[in-house]
């Protein structure tokens, strides 16, 4: 292996400049977040449309049935748990420049949707949902400056 290449930890796979690890067992947002944190990782974030495409391909290749709505949705590391109810990266509370919301989202249904999942309703994108729902998740370690 090239000494200059940023190797990923065991069980993580290098995708689009990040190391990703899939967790097929569903958990609520908080437990998923903690699980990633213990691995010095964060919940998945998309930084650009190109990176989103590469990661989506990786997810599909790894058995995620993202083509079917409401099945196999994946937690994204974005939440609006702050006092301003603003969607930010939960890890560092920074505003995300790239947030591919699905049409009509975020809609904060019943005033109870403060976390974000990656899902498919004809197109791939974000939906705000109840943080206590259980979903699969991906932990990410950022390796490259992008």
Residue ranges in contact with Ca ion by CB under 5 A? 105, 107, 113, 127-128
CB of 78 to Ca ion, least distance (A): 13
Q: Which is nearer to Ca ion, 63 or 111 (CB)?
A: 111
Q: How many CB atoms lie under 10 A from the CB of residue 146?
A: 11
CB of 104 to Ca ion, least distance (A): 8
Q: Which is nearer to Ca ion, 18 or 127 (CB)?
A: 127
Closest CA to 57 of 49, 32, 143: 49
CB of 25 to Ca ion, least distance (A): 24
* Cβ(75)–Cβ(117) below 8 Å: yes
Q: Which is nearer to Ca ion, 113 or 114 (CB)?
A: 113
- Backbone phi, then psi, for 21, in 5-degree steps? -135, 130
Q: Which is nearer to Ca ion, 61 or 71 (CB)?
A: 71
Closest CA to 44 of 144, 143, 138, 145: 138
């Amino acid at each position: 292996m090239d000494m200059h290449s940023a190797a990923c930890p065991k069980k993580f796979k290098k995708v689009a400049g990040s190391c990703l690890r899939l967790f097929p067992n569903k958990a609520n947002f908080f437990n998923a977040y903690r699980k990633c944190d213990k691995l010095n990782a964060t919940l998945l974030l998309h930084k650009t449309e190109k990176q989103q495409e590469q990661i989506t391909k990786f997810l599909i290749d790894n058995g995620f049935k993202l083509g079917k709505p409401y099945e196999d949705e994946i937690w994204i590391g974005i939440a609006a748990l702050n006092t301003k109810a603003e969607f930010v990266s939960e890890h560092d509370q920074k505003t995300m420049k790239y947030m591919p919301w699905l049409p009509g989202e975020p809609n904060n249904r019943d005033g109870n949707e403060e976390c974000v999942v990656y899902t498919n309703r004809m197109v791939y994108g974000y939906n705000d949902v109840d943080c206590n729902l259980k979903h699969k998740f991906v932990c990410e370690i950022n390796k490259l400056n992008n």
